[in-house]
């Protein structure tokens, strides 16, 4: 239930949101809706910060280009930006406050961050005094490492994380901007190393069986059907013979990416899961899409494997019911064995069974094929057929050999049987080696601490000198403005520790007026609707804490929750005086219109600008 505004005038709410992706926007829209924009109403101001010049985060750079219906939510976010009470500050990288001695009372900008050399680096200690609440919603923008031989940077080429691959096909500056790539590769390269065409690539191996794995597989399978030979000149070629590709050519996929997909010869994709068919992490809707992909067949699963999975779902359901009857579980609980989960899993197995039967009776006709390989956990990526240590590239080589083979440990459930069903698997002691031309590891994303998402702490920071501070706004001029030096981070769970979105310190106490939402608070779970629900809940907590003047359910009163530097609309002084180009919401409108116009000329939804400097040039 939404918190209601009291009739007598509550203090103004000035909220900074760090991260302009779906979570930040959903929270912002919920808060703006809760404060009606009328003269008699409580005042609210929301400032969204993003280290990229563009808003929308994962919707722009994570959602696959052939899912324009999901991307439609961008219109809602742009509608939110039209509200005069919200501002966007793009190209601003928020960093932890430096403990460097040079940082004492300087008001300098950090000139460049590790990843975003054109962005203004703004420390928390410079940002927070201008607000009375802050919400962190910068998501999960790094990959879980695989940590097996052959998977470490520089060891093998044609091995990529799903994050890098998704960034590539979605036109993320981290994959296309020469300046950023130079930073990311320590000056070695200005181009990314994703090349679908070099070396006659036919077979892709995907490690991990979640929705991102399906996105990656689907995009590769949508490449030219049948593939087109290069037509010279390197220009993009689309074909009416390739319905799979058509969906991409009309999307917002960048032209250089489309050009590669047009000529790619991939004809086989295998998705490997370390557990069984009962534990597959993708959702039924996405599986159905894969199974109906034009020109692409599904490699049938052995009937015995499907039977075993059905039995297992039944056993899990029975165990759940037994536990409910014994009072050990609540019948309405979600999770393995619950009614809802059992229904969804049976439907997923039904889809796999149907597709397997159809494919067994079908006589060819598909130029491409994809398959699922359960019970296989990767143990080594190898360069050639030997699989010994020499096959892995010599350390430091500038041109690593291509990955050619993957060694898998075969797995089985820890303890089988109705009495004790474990979803954990263990190695059977056997292994298997498969051939491949490219490997993408799609084993999940993770969030990073604020410090490691682009900060260079040694470069000084900009706390404001006490005498320089603008007048405090709010009912109590003596009250303390919000101050935060560092954002806590749980490096075991890779999230910001929190209770219902309220950030916790090392002792587990709520830090007043500091919040976290979305994947940064939960880990990378669920679909976009789950992020919306999470963000709405956190936004409701922000509103109720603000209205009650309490920071938590424990009822602790805050010292002065209404104070902040400057006026309601005033951003930090560094933002106003920065020599770096800050991208406002009007600038975004210009960029957005430019990209849509470029797209229109090419007969597609949008053509994204791929480098930060080019974005800044367009708005200047």
Out of 121, 338, 442, 447, the only residue in the binding site for ligand NAP (CB under 6 A) is: 442
Out of 303, 331, 334, 527, the only residue in the binding site for ligand NAP (CB under 6 A) is: 527
Out of 71, 275, 373, 606, the only residue in the binding site for ligand NAP (CB under 6 A) is: 275
Number of H helices, E strands in the chain: 19, 22
CB of 379 to ligand NAP, least distance (A): 10
CB of 441 to ligand NAP, least distance (A): 8
Give the C-alpha separation, 171 to 152, whole Å. Answer: 24
Q: Is 426 in the site for ligand NAP (CB under 6 A)?
A: no
User: Segment near ligand NAP (CB under 6 A), from 131-139, 275-283, 468-476, 510-518?
Assistant: 275-283
Give the C-alpha separation, 493 to 447, whole Å. Answer: 9
Please, which residues have CB within 8 angstroms of residue 120's CB and are 6 or more apart in sequence? 91, 92, 93, 109, 110, 574, 575, 578, 580, 582
Q: Is 212 in the site for ligand NAP (CB under 6 A)?
A: yes
Closer residue to ligand NAP, CB minimum distance, 116 or 375: 375
CB of 215 to ligand NAP, least distance (A): 5
CB-side neighbour CA atoms (13 Å) of 436:
28
- Helix or strand or coil: residue 45? strand
- What secondary structure letter does DSSP report for 597? H
Closer residue to ligand NAP, CB minimum distance, 409 or 541: 409
User: Segment near ligand NAP (CB under 6 A), from 168-176, 245-253, 437-445, 559-567?
Assistant: 437-445
Out of 19, 149, 210, 518, the only residue in the binding site for ligand NAP (CB under 6 A) is: 210
- Helix or strand or coil: residue 257? helix
Site for ligand NAP in 472-511 (CB under 6 A): none
Q: How far is CA 526 from CA 211, 318, 498, in A?
A: 10, 26, 18
The site map against ligand NAP for 539-578 (x = CB under 6 A) is ----------------------------------------
Out of 346, 526, 552, 589, the only residue in the binding site for ligand NAP (CB under 6 A) is: 526
Q: How far is CA 562 from CA 45, 472, 615, in A?
A: 12, 10, 37
Give the C-alpha separation, 442 to 208, whole Å. Answer: 5
Residue nearest ligand NAP by beta-carbon distance: 210
Helix (H) or strand (E) holding 287: helix 284-291
CB of 444 to ligand NAP, least distance (A): 4
Sheet holding 510-516, edge to edge: 86-90, 44-50, 13-18, 133-136, 510-516, 502-504, 498-499
Q: Is 209 in the site for ligand NAP (CB under 6 A)?
A: yes
The site map against ligand NAP for 133-172 (x = CB under 6 A) is -------------x--------------------------
Residue 428 buriedness (CB in 10 A; 0-12 / 13-18 / 19+): exposed
- What residue ranges bind ligand NAP (CB under 6 A)? 146, 207-213, 215, 273-275, 279, 281, 286, 377-378, 442-445, 524-527
């Amino acid at each position: 239930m939404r918190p209601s505004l009291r009739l007598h005038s509550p203090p103004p709410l000035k909220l900074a949101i760090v991260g302009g992706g779906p979570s930040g926007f959903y929270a912002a829209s919920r808060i703006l809706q809760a404060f009606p924009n009328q003269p008699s109403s409580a005042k609210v101001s929301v400032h969204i910060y993003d280290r990229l010049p563009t808003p929308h985060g994962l919707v722009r750079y994570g959602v696959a280009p052939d899912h324009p219906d999901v991307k439609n939510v961008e219109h809602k976010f742009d509608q939110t930006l039209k509200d005069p009470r919200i501002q966007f500050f793009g190209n601003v990288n928020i960093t932890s406050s430096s403990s460097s001695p040079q940082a004492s009372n300087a008001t300098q900008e950090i000139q460049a961050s590790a990843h975003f050399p054109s962005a203004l680096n703004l420390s928390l200690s410079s940002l927070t005094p201008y607000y009375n609440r802050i919400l962190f919603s910068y998501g999960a923008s790094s990959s879980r490492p695989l940590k097996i031989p052959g998977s470490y940077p520089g060891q093998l080429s044609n091995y990529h994380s799903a994050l890098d691959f998704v960034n590539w096909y979605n036109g993320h500056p981290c994959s296309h901007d020469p300046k950023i790539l130079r930073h990311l590769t320590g000056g070695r390269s200005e181009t990314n190393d994703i090349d679908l065409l070099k070396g006659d690539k036919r077979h892709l191996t995907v490690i991990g069986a979640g929705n991102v794995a399906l996105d990656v597989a689907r995009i590769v399978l949508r490449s030219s059907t049948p593939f087109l030979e290069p037509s010279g000149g390197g220009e993009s070629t689309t074909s009416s013979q390739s319905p799979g590709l058509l969906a991409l050519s009309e999307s917002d996929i960048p032209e250089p990416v489309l050009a590669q997909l047009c000529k790619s010869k991939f004809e086989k994709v295998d998705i490997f899961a370390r557990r069984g068919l009962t534990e597959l992490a993708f959702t039924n809707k996405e599986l159905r899409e894969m199974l109906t992909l034009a020109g692409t067949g599904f490699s049938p699963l052995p009937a015995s494997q499907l039977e075993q999975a059905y039995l297992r779902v039944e056993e899990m359901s029975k165990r759940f019911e037994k536990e409910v009857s014994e009072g050990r579980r609540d019948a309405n609980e979600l999770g393995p064995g619950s009614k809802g989960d059992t229904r969804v899993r049976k439907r997923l197995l039904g889809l796999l069974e149907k597709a397997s039967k159809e494919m067994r009776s079908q006589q060819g006709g598909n130029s491409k094929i994809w398959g699922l390989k359960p019970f296989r956990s990767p143990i080594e990526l190898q360069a050639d057929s030997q699989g010994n240590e020499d096959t892995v590239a010599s350390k430091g080589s500038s041109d690593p050999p291509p990955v050619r083979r993957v060694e898998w440990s075969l797995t089985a459930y820890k303890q089988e049987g109705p009495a004790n069903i474990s979803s954990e698997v263990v190695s059977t002691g056997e292994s298997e080696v498969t051939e491949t031309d490219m490997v993408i590891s799609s084993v999940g994303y993770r969030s990073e601490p604020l410090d490691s998402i682009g900060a260079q702490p040694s470069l000084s920071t900009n706390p404001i000198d006490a005498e320089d501070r603008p007048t405090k706004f709010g009912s109590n001029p003596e009250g303390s403005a919000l101050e935060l030096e560092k954002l806590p981070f749980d490096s075991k769970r890779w999230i910001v520790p929190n209770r219902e979105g309220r950030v916790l310190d090392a002792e587990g106490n709520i830090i007043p007026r500091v919040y976290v939402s979305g994947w940064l608070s939960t880990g990378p779970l669920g679909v976009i609707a789950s992020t919306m629900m999470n963000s709405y809940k956190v936004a409701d907590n922000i509103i109720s804490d603000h209205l009650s003047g309490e920071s938590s359910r424990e009822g602790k009163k805050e010292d002065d929750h209404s104070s902040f530097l400057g006026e309601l609309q005033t951003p930090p002084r560094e933002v106003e005086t920065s020599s770096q180009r800050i991208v406002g919401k009007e600038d975004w409108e210009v960029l957005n219109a430019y990209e849509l116009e470029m797209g229109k000329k090419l007969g597609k939804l949008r053509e994204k600008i791929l480098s930060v400097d080019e974005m800044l040039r367009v708005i200047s």
